[in-house]
Every structure is written in structure tokens, then in C-alpha cells.
Amino acid sequence: MMDVGVYRLPMAGPDDVSELAALIEAGEVNPHEICAIIAQTEGDGYARGYSALSFQLLLAEKLAMTREEVWDRIPMLMIGLTGGLMSPHYTVFTRREIDAPAAAEKRLSIGIKDTRVLLPEEYGTVVQVKEVAKAVRAAMAEAGISSPADVHCVEVKCPNLTAKRIADAEGRGQKVVSTNLAEAGSKSKGASALGVALALGEIREGDLSNEAICNNWGLYSKVASTSAGNEQVACRVVLLGNSLRAVSKFKIGSGIMQDTLDIAGAKDAFRAAGINIAAGISPKDRERIATVFINAGADATGYIRGRRTTMKSDFLAAYAGIFAKAVINAIVGSLIGDTMILASAGFEHQGPLGANLIAAIAKVD
Amino acid sequence: MMDVGVYRLPMAGPDDVSELAALIEAGEVNPHEICAIIAQTEGDGYARGYSALSFQLLLAEKLAMTREEVWDRIPMLMIGLTGGLMSPHYTVFTRREIDAPAAAEKRLSIGIKDTRVLLPEEYGTVVQVKEVAKAVRAAMAEAGISSPADVHCVEVKCPNLTAKRIADAEGRGQKVVSTNLAEAGSKSKGASALGVALALGEIREGDLSNEAICNNWGLYSKVASTSAGNEQVACRVVLLGNSLRAVSKFKIGSGIMQDTLDIAGAKDAFRAAGINIAAGISPKDRERIATVFINAGADATGYIRGRRTTMKSDFLAAYAGIFAKAVINAIVGSLIGDTMILASAGFEHQGPLGANLIAAIAKVD
Amino acid sequence: MMDVGVYRLPMAGPDDVSELAALIEAGEVNPHEICAIIAQTEGDGYARGYSALSFQLLLAEKLAMTREEVWDRIPMLMIGLTGGLMSPHYTVFTRREIDAPAAAEKRLSIGIKDTRVLLPEEYGTVVQVKEVAKAVRAAMAEAGISSPADVHCVEVKCPNLTAKRIADAEGRGQKVVSTNLAEAGSKSKGASALGVALALGEIREGDLSNEAICNNWGLYSKVASTSAGNEQVACRVVLLGNSLRAVSKFKIGSGIMQDTLDIAGAKDAFRAAGINIAAGISPKDRERIATVFINAGADATGYIRGRRTTMKSDFLAAYAGIFAKAVINAIVGSLIGDTMILASAGFEHQGPLGANLIAAIAKVD
Amino acid sequence: MMDVGVYRLPMAGPDDVSELAALIEAGEVNPHEICAIIAQTEGDGYARGYSALSFQLLLAEKLAMTREEVWDRIPMLMIGLTGGLMSPHYTVFTRREIDAPAAAEKRLSIGIKDTRVLLPEEYGTVVQVKEVAKAVRAAMAEAGISSPADVHCVEVKCPNLTAKRIADAEGRGQKVVSTNLAEAGSKSKGASALGVALALGEIREGDLSNEAICNNWGLYSKVASTSAGNEQVACRVVLLGNSLRAVSKFKIGSGIMQDTLDIAGAKDAFRAAGINIAAGISPKDRERIATVFINAGADATGYIRGRRTTMKSDFLAAYAGIFAKAVINAIVGSLIGDTMILASAGFEHQGPLGANLIAAIAKVD
């Protein structure tokens, strides 16, 4: 049976991995069981790299591996740019097989798979969609999940186009999806999200085409959260759900906030994870919340429920994504009395346009 | 009997006063009855001036006065710098005496008074505290309010020191409270808030001293919201409360959020205004909310309920005040399903350190 | 004969028009002779509007006109967003006909013309190019300039697409050049610059097509500086050059800086205006400089002479235009010992890609 | 005889140490001879840490040491926050003793010394001044420099107070110089600069007192550039000058720019290093420039030669230091046709208030 551990730990800075080091030294976390790290780092993009490097150095030492081997072994998703009440932290997932009687109910399970290395010309295309779908199905199998309804969060880290990769493709006579790097990155994220949707039956293969990617917003997954990085050459999939083959102490639930003010959607996710916050949260229940992930695809539209905002027009418009994350973090944080919540800001086929996806993991009562 | 009107109107930009112009043209608002305008403008400090000038031009025309006469007649409080879901808007208050039977319950009433012109060396001192207290008491009398418990919001716009004013004081052999303009402005705001507290019996005159201003944070008002401007030479007081001498269709309530996540404090304010949001808000009740003012003195501390934030340390630290406002706007906005809420960011003796003050005005059911 | 006056005046803020007011009151400037104002305002876009409104209010009073009449009569070009050593200021141009013997040499002359009102669907198209060209030719005639070589600076303020204008066009079954407002604005500026180039013979009519606008960067004017505003419905052309029909005390010169470090190009402009700065500038010559306009189309490329910059990649990338202006202002400012230089940041067909255009006006020795 | 190498290398990002790796692999740089690295990194403070960590990892591998040993051995000064045309890069200094005939003229020499570990209560006091002075004198001796006139640049990295260090001092009953961390950091930098001044005879010991630090601005060094870091426990001194005991291929010169527009001061520095740019720079001379360091203590005053700037007042005021660096980089860059110039922004006793210090190293012709 699979036993999954969830450790949400604070960071004093992007390079601060001391809390994890302490847990390893205390014997509470076995470094060989660490299977994924998902972090909310402060600072800009360089701080993400700094953080990843810091984790690699720690784990290279603890696992007696090279940094490259750590990198290959453990997916690390660094989500940067914090604002407002967002509190820098990371969630470490551990996984081990143990002998145990089957659980009476489904429990938190995790599946981790990479696609094959993708060619630059495949980024943002149906090829990527299908490769991601394949990896998602494999991750489901690994997690012991057969029903898509039991999948509550699929994090995908996918490759970005770079000038070098464009040159490589063109050198082989191939065309990339766009030479505008921002647009290409968006399509890579969109293709990854559609890959999740395809694997989970949220869309049909017949709906797919290269044109539909980042264009037909009617196609989306309700549980995908994708980001792209220059350092990736394949797509890395971290799938979280509930399974009868797991005996973790945790359960995961998810919900959709139709817009940023839709707190009912947030309450759904907590309820599904076994936390009732309809009438406020008790200190005991707050303690049971293990981690919360929100993908804030919303509200950079310039309007919220008919009210104009200045997210797109103000002199701070360049930071609209940070404000979007700060705002959703604050709203959900006020519901549970804790703002150590991960907020990312993807939107490409990740939920209906303008919605936020939320997943909560809680300790079973 | 006093009848008070409350009109919350959207702005397409700092210079957009078209909604008020339309109400005047339609005969819904009598420009002679306008007694105060409180606006949340987007953009920086210049946008505040632009907005004030736009209102003056409109009203100078409608009232057949000079701009200076409009300025003297109608206090205009412009709160700038929006972020997140904050929605630029303004609230116009009108006031008239009508013959009417006494109301069965206290209703929204408004009192407006200026202090005498203050000398630069008086800014931020006990002299200012006492002058503001005098104006607040006069405004209470004007509003027909005898009990401090019926006062729910006192907005004070007070003067800032400037290089010129320092020179003036020094030319007369007088010392100003600080030649650091930011510090002096803070003390002017603090003195104004203590003036409100003194008038309302929240502090005792014996507690007062020049040293206590912006120093003894145990002294504060629970209903004061103060800001300072270079254009002011006196303190302008706009006092909002409930009175048996008023027959308005509105009631006002207030509350304290002990910290930014304290939604119970926000619910208090709405409940006091006759809106129950304990279990979510109904569309009908949302319609009844006339306007909401929040003074977000909180959460630029770098911590919230034990969680570290990056408000003070990040590369966006310069915008911490905007994030603080965006966050409180989002949290309260999510409770009522509407983010057209005014958020300011004063803290000097305006509530206990780290708290937010909230006032809500609602139409009586 | 035409006599042109040039007054470069400092601003203490976007609404500070006191220096011009003082000159008018002192009788040094006759408000009826004011023909154009070109300002470098601090703050964001709203500050530009605030500034324009402040000038309109002043001149409405001094000319006993309505603000609308002032607006129609006097083109006001507000260039916002200052940084570094840039010093907010404005240049007032006056113009009058006087009886005087012909000058021995060409002197500063000014021509001002508007195009007809353009339809939204014409913005950014060859229609706009041709209308601007027509206005430029008319402005040359008005300025008494027959040779394009005598034209040194053509400022054009053209209309921006807005949601409302798109709706208007579509309501009449017409297509606009782009529904992306930023792209449409860029094309409006590009079409205006090509209009200048066409009128001055810098390009041939046969080179023109809708496709070429903001696409074929080989087409450009060496003296055009264009900006777009939502408030414009036609293109307003302010043309500056030297003419035998002028008897001003000033001369204008221009130059091209091939990149931002090309100080030789800057020196050309000053030399053409009669100021030799090859070996530094004398205090007397510095006094003779009446005003300097730079259009910094350069250096947001991410590279300068083979060196990578972080203009495009840094967390401040949103402010790259401000940095580009601050940098060119500093470089040219260091040559003449004065940073009260206007810097704008247009690039669409305004000089070869990556170049800066510079025009200097100096008092004749 | 001492042979000093100077390698100015571009960075593609804060973690890009590939150019140095390539030089080491090619045998051009012997890692055992590296004695200091001074870098201009893009991004925020975390990028500085990221960069330092990247250098440590590279050199730990090449020197077969731990990262801590590298850190103790090689001072690394990371200057962050780039803007405008600033080009991220680093300068590597190598040093070795070789048998060689004495040079006919003084050549570039380098001395590197640390003070003893300072106690938190000593930061920003005369104790720190004297310890730095001692280290500077030792570094001069090491560099074979006897006359202060031959010292052209002294970089000092000193410790910052932190909450932990304050607690440590207070736990021992000692008082720190200020519990305001920014103020304390400023005093640490100021004390370091005064230490340089004391060692070089620019001030007298009798002028010193704790009160004078960051207060009596008449005391300063013309060659000091200091920065503070939380990671430091002692002051690290890197002293650059010319010595008859050196046989390097390089010479160093320095100058003072009295204000940011004072290009004469910049020309002095280059002339002293053997590069004449009075009438522009030749490609050959540009090639000879090995590296340039500027300490831009200037121009955040809000005025430059009587012209008001918006550095202190604008919505970008938080980035005034970046603009100050971008502007001085551009001005000096335009003189030599190259913007790969290091600019820092210290001012505490580093040159007269408002001045910029500049040092240039060039290959001898």
C-alpha cells in the first residue's frame, strides 16, 4: 500500500531549506522517500533557480548523489513572485510502499511521470498534448487511481522555447509553434493542460487540433496547473488524487471558483478534503489542513462582477499576476485563517476562462 | 429633520465625473445639497489632484461658483493608489433639511466641520488634537448625535508640512514638529486621529502630550480615518453616524478587524448597518449596501498570524500599502460579492496597531 | 515675416503652469500668440491629462475662451513618464507676423496643421499616411519652408483606437486595423511617421501599403516624432524648421544617433543649430540652447554594441521605456551640462530601427 | 614580483559562470590564482546570493575545496540591481608571485585583507573604523604600495546588523548602534569608508567619533566603495593600486565626478589609467580598458545643476538607486563606447556628498 507524507514548511528566503534539513536530520523525513517538492518562492525568476539549486545541494548531500541525479529524480516546481499576505513556503511529498491492510476509504496518493524528451517543434502542439496525456495516464496507474473523478490536482512542468531551441529546430528544417517566446510558452502550458484534460476525459481527442491550443477556451481541465521552464526538456507530471491503494493519513479535494469572489467554490474543495468551513473554521480543522494549491487563472480581465478594476490599466499593470495571486491568497486565506497557501497564475486551458482552481489536502480526522 | 443621500458611482478614470453629472442633469442629485465627496482614485498622487480638479470644474459650473468657492464648500477626500480588485469610484453625500415626522430609529446623519487654519508649528501637536476634537464635537452637534456610540466613521483631511511652511514657521522663530516631511505628515494624521478619539471619549485629555503622538500606540480611535494633503491649511472633518434627528433611508455600522484575516470584525460592521452576512449575502442585501469604507492599518508588518509575508522585504516593498489595500478589499469584497469598496491605508492612532477599521452604510430594509 | 518665440519653463508638478502664467502677466508672452505647447510631465498617463487640463484652464482665462476652444486652437503634446535626471518642463512656442526686413539666413519657423477627422477604420492605414502627408505639406507652406532639408522636427499627435471607436466602426460594417488596442496605437503612430516621410520625400508613395506599416522598418522619417492619444480625433502636426521667411532669434538643427551611445549624432544636431560642443560646452553656449527634443526609439533591444542589457528581461522590464528615456537624457545632458531635455520613446518608422532622433533649437549668437 | 590578471566577463544570468569555467578549462586562468571576484548582477538581492553560490560551486569543484573554504578564501562582491544599459558581468582578479625584473613604472597591484570578526555592537562605530584602517594598511603592504596616492580603489564588504545579532549583543548587555537595520547598515558602510580614509590619511584620527559616522559628511575617502551584507562577520578589503613591486600588464587610475554630469572627472580617471578620451576614444584604446568601477553616490537628491528631477518624488522613487546607476553607467558608457561598467550606489563617506567615484583599469599600451 502507498503511504504519502505531506510536509508544508516555511522559508526565510529562496535559499532557505533549513526546515527540510532539520526534518531529515531528526529522522522525520527519509530523503530517499521524497518524490516531489512544490514551492512558493519570493523574489523574481532568479530566486526560483536559486531555490531549486538550494534544494538540489541539500538533497545531493543527503542522498549522496550528484545534483544532476537529484534533478532527474525529484520534480521541483518553483512558483515565484509573492505579494500581499502570501507566505513563502514549500510542500514536500514523500512516498513509500508499506505493508498495510487496505484502507476503508480512498486516501491521498501520488503519481509522478515524465514524458519523453520533446523536440522544440513539438512544444505547444497536439504532439505535446498526447505525450502529456500518456504521462498522466501512467501517473494515474502508478497512483492506483482508475477513475478520473479521483484525480484532484495535476501539476505539469513543461519546457519553454528558447532562442537556442528555435535555432535547433530550424537547423533541422522544422518550424516551431511561434518565434515569440512568450506566446510559445503560453502554448506549451496550454498543450500540457489539454493533455491532462484528454487523459481525464474532460475533452475528446476529436476536439483537438493545433489551432485549438490557446484559442478554443471551451476546452479545459478542472484540475490541471501547468508552468513552463527553460530548464525543462520533457514534461514532468505530478498527479495527486485519492485511491483505495493508499493508506496515507491525508485526503485531497478540489473545487472551482468561477471567479475570484466565488468562495463557495473554495468551500467545495475543503469539504471534499474533509474540512467543513461553511460557518468558519475551527482551530482543530485548521491544523488538519496539510497544504492548499490555487491556480488563479482569473481576474486579470479588468472586471470583476461588473466592477472595473485597474489590474490591466494601472502603472502597476506589469504586476497584475502578482496582484491576482495576492488577492486569491487573501480571500481563501481569510476563510481558513492561514495564508500559507500556494497561488500560481496560469490560465491556459486550466479551468474555464476567468476561473480559479483550488485543491486542498487535509489530514483525515 | 436631516435627510442624507448616498450615491456610490463608478469612475472610468480619475477625471471621470460623468456619473455625477448625469445624476445632476437628471435631477436626481441637487448639486446644492452635495456636502462631501469621498473617492477611491486609480493612479498616483497627481491623479488625486486631477480628480479633485475635475469635480471642482463640474460643480463650479453646476453651482455657478468659482472653483475656489466649491473647494471651500465641499470637502473632497481623494484616496489614491488602487490594486487588485479595487474598483475606482466615489461616494457623494447629500444633505438637506426636510419637514418630516421623527424616525422610529436612528438613521444616517452627517456632520461637517473645519478647524480654524492651523499654523505650521501646530501640525502634529496637541494643539491640532484639540482643534480637531473641537471640530468633531461641533460636527456631532450638527449631525444631531449626542452619544459617541452613534458615531461610526470620522474622516479627517489635515494639512501636511511643506518646505514653504517650514520656512514660514522658522521665519517667525517657531519650530515645526519635524523637518522630515514624511514624519511630520504622519504626526499630522496621528494628531487628527487622536482628536477624534478625544472628542469621542476614547482617550482622556490627561493621556495627551506631544510625545505621545505617533509614539503611544495604546491611544487610538476606533472610527477615525485620517489623511494629509499639501493643499490643506485646516483640518476638514466629515463625521458619519446614526441620529434620531435624521430620516435618511440609510443606517451606518462599524467594526474592527483585529487583523486582516478577521472577517468576524467585518461582519460586525455589516450587521450593525442591518446587513446579515453570517451565511453569505443575498442579492437583495447586496443591493442595499450603499458604500463601504475600510481603513487598512494592518499587515504591512511582515507577518500575519505567525506566517511571514514578503510585504516589507520584496522588490515590490515600495508598494506594500497598495497590496495591503488590495488584500483587505478582496477579503471584504468576497464576503459581500462586490469590490467597489473604499480602502485607505492609514494606521496612526486609527485603531489598535495592526487592525483594520471598517464602516458600512446600508439602505434600511 | 514670421517671428517665433521659444520658452522652456520648469514645472513643479503636472499641474504647475505658474511660470507661463507669470510670463503672461509680466507681458513677456502674449497668450494670443501661443501656438503650441510641448511638455515633459512626470507621473503616469493621468498626469498628462491633468497637465493638459491645467494649461487649458490657464489659457481659457487668459484668452477669454472656453476650454474646448483652447483645445481646438493650441496643440498640446504631453510626454509623460520621467526617470533618472529628466527634469519636468514644457516648451511654449509663440508665433506672430511682424513687419521686418528679410533675414540674411534661415531662422526658426513653425507650421501647425490638423488633418481632417479620421474614421476609426482609417487609423493605422495608408489613408492616415496620406492625410498626415497632406497636413505636413500644408504646415511646411505655412512655415514658409520649401525644401525638406529645412524641416528638422515634426511632432504628430494622432488618435488611438478605443473600444467605443471599434464599436462605431463595426457598427458601420467596417474593420479596424487591429482590435488589439496597443497594436492599433502603434500602427497609428507608424502611419503618422510615414506620413511625415512621404511629405518630405524620405519614402516614395509606391513603397506604401497597409502591410508595410509597422512591418517594413526600412521605411522611416529622420525628423518625425509621433504619439497617440485617446482624446484625438484627427492628427495634429507641429512642424519646426528654418526659413528665410522667418526672423526669429532662433535656429533649429537635427541629427541621428545611430544608437544610444552615438554622441557624434547628438553633436551634429547641436552644430546644425549653431552650437559647437565638440570640445565641451561653454556656459554662454549653454545659455543659448532654447530647447532639445529627443525621440529615443532605441535600446529597448536588450543589447547595446554587443553588450547584453537587462532592459527587456529584468523585473523592471515594464519600465524599459522610462529607462530608455532616462539614459538618452543623461547622455545628451552630460554633453551640454543640462538635463532639461525632452525625451520621448517612439520608434515606429521614426528613424532607422534602434536609432534616436534629436532636434535642438538655439538662440542665434 | 606580483603579477595581476584582470578578466571582465559577461553573464547571461546571475548563475552564469560559464565564461570563467571556460577560461579555467582552457588553462587561461589558474583557479588557484583567483583572489577576488567583483560582479554586477541583474535581479534583486536573491540573485546576488544565487550568483555567489554559483561561483562557489564552480570554484569548489576546480579547487577541490568545500564551498565554505572557497568563501573564506576568495572575496566575492556582488553588486545587484541593474537598469538601463548596464550589462551584467563580473571581473575576476588573479594574483601570483613571479620572478621578473622590476618594472620601469608602477603597475596594477592588489592587496586583500579581512578585519578580525567584529562584534555586533562594534558595527558602525569607531572600533570598526580602526579595524578597517588596520586591514587597509595591511592590504597596502601586501600590495607593495607605500604612498596613499597610489591607491585608486578600495572595495570593502562589511557586516550588516540582523535581528539575531542585535539579540546576541543585547544578551551580553551591549547596545548596538541602531536597532533600525537600514540605519545600522548605513553606519557600517560609513564606518568602513572612514576606515579607508583614515588609513590613507584623508582624515585624521582626531576627527573621528561615533557621532561623526553618517553625520559629518565633510569626512570622506576619495577611493572607498563599501557595501554591507548579512552574510559577513568581518570586513573584507580588496585594495587596488599601482606599485613598483608589480609587473602586471595593467595600470589603474581614479577620479571624482563632482556631480553626475561632471564628465571631466571621469576623463581624469581614464587618463590616469593611460587612456586619453579627451577627443573621443579609439577602438584600440577601448580594447585596452580592462574594467571600470563607479560608485554613484550622487543624484538621488532631487536636483541636478539647478534642475528638478523626479528621482525622489515619482512613483518609481523606490528605484531611485537603480536609475542613479543606470544614468552614470550611460554617461560614462557613452564616453568609452561600452556600458559593461560596474556601477554601485553607496554614498556614506564615499566621496564628497553628491559626487561619484570612478576607477578605471587599463592594459598598458
Q: Is residue A165 part of a domain?
A: yes
Q: Are residues B160 and B233 in the same domain?
A: yes
**C-alpha angle with apex D29: D27 to D31, nearest 5 degrees?**
105
Q: Are residues C45 and C123 in the same domain?
A: no
* Conformation bin of residue A159: beta by default, left when phi > 0, alpha when psi is -120 to 50: beta
Q: Which are the contacts of C257, defined by CB distance < 8 A and separation ≥ 6?
A: C263, C264, C265, C266, C298, C328, C355, C356, C357, C358
Spans in chain B with pLDDT lower than 50: none
DSSP output for C19-69: HHHHHHHTTSS-GGGEEEEEEE--SSHHHHHHHHHHHHHHHHHHHT--HHH
Distance from C-alpha of B334 to C-alpha of B339, rounded to nearest angstrom: 8
- Supply the range of the domain harboring residue C187: 107-240
| Rg from Cα positions in chain B | 19
Tell how far CA A168 is from the center of its chain: 29
Give the residue on D whose Cα is nearest the Cα of C260.
Answer: D334
| Residue C284 belongs to domain with CATH number | 3.30.1330.160
Distance from C-alpha of A244 to C-alpha of A265, rounded to nearest angstrom: 26
Using the predicted structure, report yes or no on whether residue A129 has a pLDDT greater than 80.
yes
Q: Per residue in C299-343, pLDDT tens?
A: 556 889 999 998 877 777 778 889 999 999 999 999 999 999 999
Would you place residue C52 in the very low, low, confident or very high pLDDT band (cuts 50, 70, 90)? very high
Contact across the interface for C307 and D263, Cβ inside 8 Å: no
Decide if C105 contacts C250 (C-beta within 8 A). Answer: no
A-D contacts at Cβ under 8 angstroms? 52
- Give the count of beta carbons closer than 10 Å to the beta carbon of residue A286: 15
Contact across the interface for C326 and D322, Cβ inside 8 Å: no
Q: Are residues C220 and C184 in the same domain?
A: yes
Distance from C-alpha of D12 to C-alpha of D87, rounded to nearest angstrom: 10
Q: State the first-to-last Cα distance of chain A, in angstroms, to the nearest integer.
A: 20
Tell how far CA D230 is from the center of its chain: 17
Q: Which residue type does C235 have? A: C
Instruction: Name the residue among C42, C50, C315 with its Cβ closest to that of B50.
Output: C50
- Strands C76-79, C34-40: pairing kind: parallel
Give the residue on D whose Cα is nearest the Cα of C84.
Answer: D323
- Count of CA atoms in the C-beta half-sphere (13 A) of C213: 28
Q: Which of C97, C119, C146 is the last residue of a domain?
A: C97
From B44's Cα to the closest Cα of chain D, the distance in A is 7
Q: Which of C62, C134, C157, C251 is catalytic?
A: C157
3-state DSSP of B91-113? EEEEEEECCCCCCCCCEEEEEEE
Q: Per residue in C7-30, pLDDT tens?
A: 999 999 999 999 999 999 999 999
Using the predicted structure, report yes or no on whether residue A62 has a pLDDT greater than 90.
yes
Give SS3 for B77.
strand
**Distances, alpha carbon C42 to alpha carbons C8, C126, C315, in Å:** 16, 34, 22
Residue percentage of chain D with pLDDT more than 90: 87
- Count of CA atoms in the C-beta half-sphere (13 A) of A125: 12
Spans in chain D with pLDDT lower than 50: none
Q: Which of B195, B216, B240 is the last residue of a domain?
A: B240
Residues of A in contact with B85 (CB under 8 A): 260-261, 299, 304, 307, 309, 311, 327
Distance from C-alpha of C69 to C-alpha of C64, rounded to nearest angstrom: 10
Would you place residue A187 in the very low, low, confident or very high pLDDT band (cuts 50, 70, 90)? very high
Q: Which are the contacts of A44, defined by CB distance < 8 A and separation ≥ 6?
A: A80, A81, B315, C315, D43, D44, D46, D47
Q: Is residue C102 part of a domain?
A: no
Q: Are residues D118 and D62 in the same domain?
A: no
Give the DSSP letter of residue B26. T
Q: Are residues A155 and A194 in the same domain?
A: yes
Q: Are residues B84 and B115 in the same domain?
A: no
| Predicted local confidence at residue D301, as pLDDT | 66
Decide if D355 contacts D254 (C-beta within 8 A). Answer: no
Distance from C-alpha of C310 to C-alpha of D170, rounded to nearest angstrom: 43
Q: Which of D240, D263, D292 is the last residue of a domain?
A: D240
Q: Per residue in A222-238, pLDDT tens?
A: 999 999 998 899 999 99
Q: Per residue in B108-166, pLDDT tens?
A: 999 999 999 999 999 999 999 999 999 999 999 999 999 999 999 999 999 999 989 99
Contact across the interface for C261 and D314, Cβ inside 8 Å: no
Give the residue on B whose Cα is nearest the Cα of A308.
Answer: B87
Distance from C-alpha of D295 to C-alpha of D79, rounded to nearest angstrom: 11
Decide: residue C16, CB within 10 A, 0-12 exposed, 13-18 middle, 19+ buried.
middle
Per the prediction, chain A carries an average pLDDT of 95
Residues in chain B, total? 365
Q: Is residue D216 part of a domain?
A: yes
Q: Are residues B82 and B124 in the same domain?
A: no
Q: Are residues B121 and B232 in the same domain?
A: yes
Q: Are residues B121 and B214 in the same domain?
A: yes
Number of domains in chain B: 3
Q: Are residues A136 and A192 in the same domain?
A: yes
| Residue A31 belongs to domain with CATH number | 3.30.1330.170
Q: Are residues B200 and B288 in the same domain?
A: no
* Conformation bin of residue C169: beta by default, left when phi > 0, alpha when psi is -120 to 50: alpha
Residues of D in contact with A60 (CB under 8 A): none
| Predicted local confidence at residue D298, as pLDDT | 58
Q: Is residue D321 part of a domain?
A: yes
Which candidate in C315, C322, C323 is best for mutational testing of the A interface (most A CBs within 10 A)? C315
Instruction: Name the residue among C88, C327, C337 with its Cβ closest to that of D310.
Output: C88
Using the predicted structure, report yes or no on whether residue A303 has a pLDDT greater than 90.
no
Paired with C10 in beta bridges are C89
Decide if A120 contacts A146 (C-beta within 8 A). Answer: no
From B338's Cα to the closest Cα of chain A, the distance in A is 7
Decide if B297 contacts B356 (C-beta within 8 A). Answer: yes
Which candidate in D310, D325, D338, D340 is best for mutational testing of the C interface (most C CBs within 10 A)? D310
* Catalytic machinery residues of D: 157, 227
Distance from C-alpha of D294 to C-alpha of A246, rounded to nearest angstrom: 61
Contact across the interface for A44 and C315, Cβ inside 8 Å: yes
C-alpha cell at A36: 516531489
Q: Is residue D209 part of a domain?
A: yes
Q: Per residue in C248-261, pLDDT tens?
A: 999 999 999 999 99
Put simply, whether the predicted model's pTM sits higher than 0.90 gets the answer yes
**C-alpha angle with apex B137: B133 to B138, nearest 5 degrees?**
115
Phi, psi at D125, each rounded to 5°: -120, 175
Using the predicted structure, report yes or no on whether residue C297 has a pLDDT greater than 70.
yes
Residues of D in contact with C299 (CB under 8 A): 85
Distance from C-alpha of D252 to C-alpha of C338, rounded to nearest angstrom: 30
Q: Is residue D102 part of a domain?
A: no
Contact across the interface for C53 and B315, Cβ inside 8 Å: no
What chains are in contact with D, requiring at least 3 Cβ pairs below 8 Å?
A: A, B, C
Strand ordering across the sheet containing B224-229 = B107-114, B236-243, B151-159, B224-229
Residues of C in contact with A319 (CB under 8 A): 318
C-D contacts at Cβ under 8 angstroms? 139
Q: Is residue B65 part of a domain?
A: yes
Q: Which residue type does D10 have? A: P
What chains are in contact with B, requiring at least 3 Cβ pairs below 8 Å?
A: A, C, D
- Element counts in chain D: helices (H) and strands (E): 9, 14
Q: Are residues A70 and A143 in the same domain?
A: no
From C261's Cα to the closest Cα of chain D, the distance in A is 5
* ipTM field: 0.94
Per the prediction, chain C carries an average pLDDT of 95
Distance from C-alpha of C186 to C-alpha of C166, rounded to nearest angstrom: 16
* Catalytic machinery residues of B: 157, 227
Give the DSSP letter of residue D101. P
| Residue A221 belongs to domain with CATH number | 3.30.1330.180
Q: Is residue A102 part of a domain?
A: no
